[in-house]
Amino acid sequence: MFENRPGRDAEVVFVGRSNVGKSTLMRELTGHSFETGGKPGVTRQPNHFDWASEDFMLTDLPGFGFMSGVEEDRRERIKTDIVEYIEENAERVLVGVLVVDGKSVIDIIDRHSGEDEIPHDVEMFYFLREVGIPVVVAVNKMDKVDDEDERLNDLCDRLGLHPPWKQWQDTIAPISAKRGNIDALNEAVKTHLHEQKRDDLFKFFS
């Protein structure tokens, strides 16, 4: 189980598969760079960014799903830890950001959509909603996608949201973290902060 959570009463959590660019996104959001492992699954504990004087932090949870060189039981353990962390802290989590790779997310979801199999990304999306956390899906690496609207509509479809995606701009945020293009994510997060009367936190997403 994850330990040493800072005693902050409000947080925004970031979840996603390994290698979707979460670390790059965190660096873009916080201006802090930190060790990212060269190989997937290196982040095994949450990274908490509690540098602000406010009673608030950003939490980057470890990547879940397939990781080369990591045994399945270890992967399952990480996923269980993530779920337990979110359940335990749900009341403090203002927004959950699910980061996906815009280039491969549809293929990955479709590959894992069997009769008794729910793809991790879809499962995480619904899990966050079930525990009462507003979700923003940060669709990263969109600079590598040619047919942006079609790809985002397909993603909405897989998540059970009716396309077109543009009616879900508080939920679907196309970004390219590497290029510093994260405005759509910032705007979506601010929509949810505003609904929870936390405009005081806007400066972290500007």
What is the Cα–Cα distance from 106 to 83, expressed in whole angstroms? Answer: 23
In a domain, 1, yes or no: no
pLDDT of residue 94: 98
Q: Is residue 5 part of a domain?
A: no
Q: Which helix (H) or strand (E) holds 107?
A: helix 105-111
For the chain, which ranges sit under pLDDT 50? none
The whole-number pLDDT of residue 43 equals 57
30 exposure class (CB count in 10 Å sphere: 0-12, 13-18, 19+) = middle
CATH code at position 61: 3.40.50.300
**Does any domain span residue 108?**
yes
Q: Is residue 2 part of a domain?
A: no
Q: Is 21 helix (H, G, I), strand (E, B) or coil?
A: coil
Q: What is the pLDDT of residues 28-66, one digit of tens each?
A: 999 877 655 555 555 578 999 998 888 999 999 999 887
Q: Is residue 186 part of a domain?
A: yes
Ramachandran sector of residue 176 (left: φ over 0; alpha: ψ -120 to 50; beta: rest): beta
Provide the domain limits for residue 109. Answer: 11-30+42-205
The answer to whether residue 6 is domain-embedded is no
Give the separation between CA 104 and CA 90, rounded to whole angstroms. 29
Please identify which residue in the block is written with the tokens 């290698």: 19
Q: Is residue 181 part of a domain?
A: yes
CA distances for 108 relative to 17, 112, 145, angstroms = 11, 6, 15
Q: What is the reported pTM?
A: 0.93
In a domain, 157, yes or no: yes
Q: What is the DSSP letter of 64?
A: B
Report the alpha-carbon distance of residue 122 to residue 103 in Å, rounded.
16
Domains identified in the chain, total number: 1
What phi and psi values does residue 80 have, to the nearest 5 degrees? -60, -45
* pLDDT single digits (tens) 12-25: 999 999 889 998 99
Max Cα separation, the chain?
48
Token pair 């293009």: residue: 181
